[in-house]
Amino acid sequence: MNLKSYYKKIHEVESALDSDNVLVVSEATPDGGKAGVKTLTTKRVAAQLVVEGKARIASEDERAEWELAEEERREAARREELAQRIQVHVIPDPEPGRKPRQG
Residue 20 located in a structural domain: yes
Residues 6+ apart with CB under 8 A from 8: none
The pLDDT tens digits for 25-41 are 999 988 888 999 999 99
Provide the angle, in degrees to the nearest 10, between the axes of the packed helices 43-51 and 3-16.
130
Instruction: Return the pLDDT at 85.
Output: 83
Residue 41 located in a structural domain: yes
Residue 80 located in a structural domain: no
Residue 75 located in a structural domain: no
- Counting Cα atoms < 13 Å in the Cβ hemisphere of 6 gives 7
Task: Identify the domain containing residue 14 by its residue range.
Answer: 3-62
How many domains is the chain built from?
Answer: 1
pTM of the model: 0.71
Residue 7 located in a structural domain: yes
Residue 35 located in a structural domain: yes
In which band, very low, low, confident or very high, does the pLDDT at 103 lie, cut at 50, 70 and 90? low
Calculate the CA dihedral of residues 15, 17, 19, 24 and round it to 10 degrees.
Answer: -130
The pLDDT tens digits for 46-66 are 999 999 999 999 999 999 999
Instruction: Return the pLDDT at 100.
Output: 64
Residue 9 located in a structural domain: yes
Instruction: Return the pLDDT at 29.
Output: 87
Give, as one character, the DSSP assignment of residue 34.
P
